[in-house]
Amino acid sequence: MSRKGGSDYKILSAKTVKVTAPVLAIAGWMATMVPAMAINASYSNNDFRACAGQLLRVNVNADAASQACAGALRPRDLSSCVVSISRQTKINAVDALNTCRQVRRPEELASCVVGISRIPTQEAPNLEILNYCGRSLLPVRFGQCVVGLRSEFKLVLNQALNTCISGSDTVSTSTSVVIPQVPRATEPLPNVEPAPAAR
């Protein structure tokens, strides 16, 4: 190799190192930061910690709060459900927690319970409201049904709850589904002789 070729190689190698070294350093730094960012104990970034903290503030005991938050698919939604119900109705947080844990959409359950509870009533069976909203597949729609019927017809709360829960599935029960029958082929199957038994 000539002297000129050797010096060109050294210059090229030095330039490559100058360009590559910072890129590799930044990539290595980012690789070490990713696991640290993924697991975080801060209140704002950790849904489980936020859930536990919110439940403790509404007087759910630590054991029940930890089990509920650990078992929740969306811990913040669970704790928001409990907090909304316990602060905006006369239902205590433990009763709210038991129902919020059993539903798919806890925030919709809270909207249902709080919406129905806002209508003044003399009987005030808040646990019945919680039970009915928990049974409904569409809690927000169910809550709107109860509030609408009570406002327009002055129904007793239990009557409105029963009417709306029985009417919540009218789409599937009132329309009949006709499944067309496909005619079967009438061709006979070919005669197939059984294989001889092995000796």
- Is 195 within the bounds of a domain? no
- Computed on alpha carbons and rounded to an integer, the radius of gyration of the chain in Å comes to 33
- Is 113 within the bounds of a domain? yes
What confidence tens digit (pLDDT) does each residue in 64-113 have? 999 999 999 999 999 999 999 999 999 999 999 999 999 999 999 999 99
- Is 94 within the bounds of a domain? yes
Nearest to 99 by CA among 118, 115, 86: 86
- 87 and 29: one domain? no
CA torsion through residues 98, 101, 104, 106, sign: positive
Q: What is the pLDDT of residue 160?
A: 93
- 72 and 163: one domain? yes
- 32 and 79: one domain? no
- 34 and 52: one domain? no
- Is 102 within the bounds of a domain? yes
CA torsion through residues 22, 23, 26, 32, sign: negative
- 30 and 125: one domain? no
- Is 184 within the bounds of a domain? no
- Alpha carbon of 55 to those of 10, 110, 136, 147, 187: distances in Å? 66, 15, 24, 28, 68
- Is 179 within the bounds of a domain? no
Predicted TM-score of the model (pTM) = 0.63
CA distance 5 to 22: 27
- 163 and 124: one domain? yes
pLDDT confidence tier of residue 193, bands split at 50, 70 and 90: low
What confidence tens digit (pLDDT) does each residue in 26-44 have? 766 666 655 545 555 565 6
- 161 and 63: one domain? yes
Any idea which residue has 């059993």 for tokens?
102
3-state secondary structure of 189: coil
- 121 and 53: one domain? yes
Q: What is the pLDDT of residue 166?
A: 86
- Alpha carbon of 86 to those of 97, 101, 110, 114, 194: distances in Å? 9, 14, 9, 9, 73
pLDDT at 138 over 90: yes
pLDDT confidence tier of residue 194, bands split at 50, 70 and 90: low
**How many domains does one find in the chain?**
2
Cβ(53)–Cβ(42) below 8 Å: no
CA distance 180 to 193: 36
- Is 193 within the bounds of a domain? no
What confidence tens digit (pLDDT) does each residue in 140-191 have? 999 999 999 998 988 889 999 999 998 654 444 444 444 445 555 555 555 6
- Is 151 within the bounds of a domain? yes
Domain interval for residue 82 = 47-167
